Structure 1
Amino acid sequence: MVSAKGIPDGFTYSFLLSACARGGLIREGEQVHGAILVKGYCSNVFLDTNLVNLYAGSGGVEKARKVFDNMSQRSVVSWNSMLAGYIRCCDFDGARRVFDEMPIRNVVSWTTMIAGYARNGQCKQALLLFGEMRRAHVELDQVALVAALSACAELGDLKLGRWIHWYVQQRFVVRNQLQPLVRLSNALIHMYASCGIIDEAYRVFTMMPQKSTVSWTSIITAFAKQGLGKEALGMFKTMISDGMRVDEVIRPDEITFLGVLCACSHAGFVDEGRQIFVSMNQTWGISPTIEHYGCMVDLLSRAGFLDEACGLIETMPLKPNDAVWGALLGGCRIHKNSELASGVANKLIAELNTDQAAGYLVLLSNIYAFAKRWQDVITVRQKMIVMGVKKPPGHSWIQINGVVHDFVAGDMTHKHSSFIYEILYEITKQTHQEGYEPDIADIMFFDMDTTVPTEPF
């Protein structure tokens, strides 16, 4: 255009900036910015908004803010662009300030904030803002619903998750006779599975007119997490056969194999796990990652094939991480192999920092306790004191009457803690009366002011 003596105008530069932003061409975008300043187009709201997009999209939120502050006129798109820039940089304080200052918010404004919180693990904040969005009577789009379902899955908020499912049915199916996006149905499957409602997860899956690889992977992983290995394997085989019928549009990926290997591990399907692991590369051309090797070591170790697990670790093309060694150590605990456990722990703990080593040291001490190697238990305990480590407390939560209650092992701050511990005591006493012998690894605990383990309670 320039060679042909054409004269670019504001629209030309606007599209150029959009192209630079989408292509990640920051240096070229800066040159266009310079041309805009020379030509005097800097008061154009569309150009300025695209400049904000350019800089914010590349992590240059300070440059974006400078352009934004100098704008003589701002649209809601300008505000949303600035908001998205802060979210990309994980500056949620800055994002919240922009959000609160916005004179007008649209559905994109709300969705950007909610999705940003959810993607970065701030699920409580995501759901609080989702509640504000509902109270503001903003029509919920599918992106916001997906983000909210992700947060519900993380927090176990089944009540809100069910409400969203109802809303989806009313909004997209009953009213408009439209099917929700595949991504939204996948989020529903994940939410129900994370809350342990596997029947609902499967019902959503079967009602989907179209399924993606993520859909199949989600339901396979859902069955695996519930210990339903046979069902997970059945879904995996159906996925492959269905994929073949639709010209391989549906095919397993790395995450699918993680789910099915996990299912084999927890169900004890050793032969099936071996075959699936080999087929990853030979049939599907997927190179196993460290996570896949970790699943295989876990499968073999749980089943008692400790020598085979060791051989796999020694021959794998990747350096074993703490999860791989930890899986082998867990197998040693199950099968009471204290000698192998000692060697594994020495390799493992030498490579970990203090916080990471705590759980493995406790596991090793329990393995020694099984073998009645009390002097080794004391040695491990002394090593923990020297290193200054403590095992992170267990954490769980439950939803009662729509309220999510958090629990941490040993915590007495809950208003009903005395009642909770009283009930726990009664349950423990009843299990003893019925002849249940708990695992010593589950009931043994240490007095942090001594060097010897106390008796099991």
Structure 2
Amino acid sequence: MLVVGSAVPTSFRALQQYLFSLLQTSNTVKNLTQIHTQILINGLSQKNFILVKLIYLYISSGYISNAQRIFQQIENPSTTVWNQILRSHARSETPCKSIELYNRMQRTQALPDGFTYSFVISACSRSGLLREGEQIHGKVISNGFCSNVFVQTNLVNLYAKAGEKVGVANACRVFDEMSERNVVTWNSLLAGYLRSKDIDKAQRIFGEMPERNVISWTTMVAGCAQNGRSKQALFLFREMMREKIELDQVSMVAALSACAELGNLKLGKWIHSYVGATFCFRNQPVLVSLNNALIHMYASCGVVEEAYRVFLEMPRRTSISWTSMITGFAKQGRGEEALRVFHWMQCSGASEARPDAITFIGVLCACSHAGFVDEGRHFLKWMNQAWGIEPRIEHYGCIVDLLSRAGLLDEAYRLVETMPMKPNDAVWGAILGGCRIHKNVELASQVAQKLAVELDPDRAAGYLVLLSNVYATSKRWHDVAIVRRKMVEMGVKKPPGRSWVQIDGIIHDFVAGDRTHSCAYSIYEVLGEITALTKSERYEPDNLDVLLDIDN
């Protein structure tokens, strides 16, 4: 029985056209299934032109398995039929299946065309199969598809995703050979340069682009933010707004990351209000990653209450959400709140709330800042016993810092000696920091002797400055002089202190001893007045660290 109530065509050819027209207007899976049944009943299961449309509609409706079953029953699939299946797998979670099917296709009479190569190269790119992609590139050359803009664009993307200089060089070579390019081509090359950490060349490509879309801008903003160029990222973000480019959630995640790095709370708050006014007003769901970025931004700017408000209002949370909130509380010294969130995380029972290694760094950091010694010891053991997470150097570093701050220096030193990995700078720094707080010169000297054999100028500064601080705290000036002399001999300089403040939306950067700021004279004049006031109140400054400044 046919799907519709109109007269059934009498001729076989007319029946084919009739069923094809029904496919053209089919708008539900139920109708699609009924038409599929009529195709089988009427012996049309090998008619490629009908099956192409049927397969396409099943794939578009999300019924890839149905499309796959139809494909497997076709004796001689046409190139167009092959392309539909290749396309569906290339865009699926298993793109490597597209490559397997392409290898099968080569053993049939169907000849690959530009679409075939585009889909398979895309699958290689998504699967990270560069070698297979290079082999298909050879086929593209031998079969004369080098001028196909879609094939070439996918080749640029394949090599650009490979990263490193060689991959980007190959992408650039294909790009230069193209007689026609679209915005996707330019975006692929742009992303390749950013992925290989070459911001300057990416900036040049971005400037040369004849057309830019939201992906172009977002790629550039995110690339700068991820490569330590946060000021440049925010400059581009503001340019994006001036160009009237509609901000998407991905661009805002990148901008919030830069705001967190620079402490730009004003712009971060504006983005938050924009999210509420735009996406929430339109009843569009806000990405979890955007909410996570808001939490990170507020916590990094010290406004942890706002971060917690965003966290509480999230309809769905991932382990990154929980970890960001735990870490935010921990960095503000609010260990109890951090552990309370961690306990809530465990009780939630959600699969997306499973703690990972980064979560436990936040938990142990909270214990360290709050002085929760017993809890810290417990979590270090429990993370492996209960969750199967092997402690890393960062976890041991948190516990060493916790024990050192608490004055349990002998226990901290024993832990360092029994760690399953070699201690790093942060671990030794925690020990020496504890020695300074608790004036344990003997242990500091012991650590110094241990480090003497492995110190090099690049790593020496932090150790030697801390060791000098320990000696100065105990007023062992002779030892301070020895350390200072060694620092001079090694060419080591104490890293200058650095800070920044945001005033009226402008971020001012300060480095200790620097007088290049346009308001330097006024700044130091006010600083002098503050110093005079503190002296009049009989404030006694701690000058020990000043004695260690080699430049003075």
Bin for the TM-score computed over the shorter chain? over 0.9
2:342 is aligned to 236
**How far apart are residue 421 of structure 1 and its match?**
2.7
The CA distance in 2 between the partners of 1:368 and 1:14, in whole Å, is: 67
Whether the 8 Å CA contact 2:121–2:158 is kept in 1: the answer is yes
Aligned partner of 1:252 among 338, 341, 355: 355
Per-residue CA deviation, residues 295-319 of structure 1 (Å, 9 max, x unaligned), is 0100001001111111111111001
1:47 is aligned to 151
Give yes or no for the alignment of 1:192 onto 2:303: no
The CA distance in 2 between the partners of 1:137 and 1:441, in whole Å, is: 55
Give yes or no for the alignment of 1:130 onto 2:198: no
Matches within 5 A, 1:35-434: 35-59=139-163, 60-174=167-281, 176-242=282-348, 244=349, 246=350, 248-431=351-534, 434=537
**How far apart are residue 404 of structure 1 and its match?**
0.5
The CA distance in 2 between the partners of 1:302 and 1:432, in whole Å, is: 30
Per-residue CA deviation, residues 123-172 of structure 1 (Å, 9 max, x unaligned), is 11111111111000000111110000000110111111111111111111
The CA distance in 1 between the partners of 2:339 and 2:547, in whole Å, is: 36
In structure 1, stretches of 5+ residues that fail to align are: 450-457
1:453 is aligned to none
Question: Mean alpha-carbon deviation: is it higher for 343-352 or for 135-144?
Answer: 343-352
**How far apart are residue 430 of structure 1 and its match?**
4.1
2:70 is aligned to none
The CA distance in 1 between the partners of 2:317 and 2:187, in whole Å, is: 32
**How far apart are residue 410 of structure 1 and its match?**
1.0
The CA distance in 2 between the partners of 1:283 and 1:434, in whole Å, is: 55
**How far apart are residue 347 of structure 1 and its match?**
2.4
Whether the 8 Å CA contact 1:111–1:144 is kept in 2: the answer is yes
2:135 is aligned to 31
Instruction: Please state whether the residue corresponding to 1:406 is helix, strand or coil.
Output: strand
Give yes or no for the alignment of 1:17 onto 2:121: yes
Instruction: Please state whether the residue corresponding to 1:249 is helix, strand or coil.
Output: helix
**How far apart are residue 196 of structure 1 and its match?**
0.9
The CA distance in 2 between the partners of 1:337 and 1:300, in whole Å, is: 14
Letter matched to residue 133 of structure 2: G
In structure 2, stretches of 5+ residues that fail to align are: 1-104
Whether the 8 Å CA contact 1:368–1:376 is kept in 2: the answer is yes
Instruction: Please state whether the residue corresponding to 1:43 is helix, strand or coil.
Output: coil
The CA distance in 2 between the partners of 1:122 and 1:447, in whole Å, is: 31
TM-score (ref. length: structure 1):
0.94
Letter matched to residue 130 of structure 1: F
Instruction: Please state whether the residue corresponding to 2:403 is helix, strand or coil.
Output: helix
Moved over 2 A (4+): 345-353, 415-449
Per-residue CA deviation, residues 63-116 of structure 1 (Å, 9 max, x unaligned), is 111111111211111111111111111222221222111111110010111111
Whether the 8 Å CA contact 2:441–2:470 is kept in 1: the answer is yes
Instruction: Please state whether the residue corresponding to 2:422 is helix, strand or coil.
Output: coil
Q: Give the count of matched residue pairs.
A: 445
Whether the 8 Å CA contact 1:366–1:440 is kept in 2: the answer is no
The CA distance in 2 between the partners of 1:263 and 1:434, in whole Å, is: 36
What is the RMSD computed on CA atoms of the aligned residues? Answer: 1.6
Instruction: Please state whether the residue corresponding to 2:352 is helix, strand or coil.
Output: coil
Whether the 8 Å CA contact 1:227–1:263 is kept in 2: the answer is yes
Letter matched to residue 193 of structure 1: A
Q: Select the structure with the greater relative contact order (CA < 8 A; seq sep ≥ 6).
A: 1
Instruction: Please state whether the residue corresponding to 1:396 is helix, strand or coil.
Output: strand
The CA distance in 1 between the partners of 2:331 and 2:391, in whole Å, is: 21
Instruction: Please state whether the residue corresponding to 1:178 is helix, strand or coil.
Output: coil
Letter matched to residue 49 of structure 1: T
2:22 is aligned to none
Letter matched to residue 192 of structure 1: Y
Whether the 8 Å CA contact 2:494–2:549 is kept in 1: the answer is no
**How far apart are residue 429 of structure 1 and its match?**
4.5
Among the aligned pairs, what percent are the same residue? Answer: 65
**How far apart are residue 348 of structure 1 and its match?**
3.0
**How far apart are residue 45 of structure 1 and its match?**
0.9
Instruction: Please state whether the residue corresponding to 2:302 is helix, strand or coil.
Output: coil
Whether the 8 Å CA contact 1:322–1:348 is kept in 2: the answer is no
Whether the 8 Å CA contact 2:432–2:470 is kept in 1: the answer is no
Instruction: Please state whether the residue corresponding to 2:353 is helix, strand or coil.
Output: coil
The CA distance in 1 between the partners of 2:144 and 2:504, in whole Å, is: 61
Instruction: Please state whether the residue corresponding to 2:407 is helix, strand or coil.
Output: coil
Aligned partner of 1:8 among 99, 109, 112: 112
Letter matched to residue 389 of structure 1: V
The CA distance in 2 between the partners of 1:97 and 1:414, in whole Å, is: 30
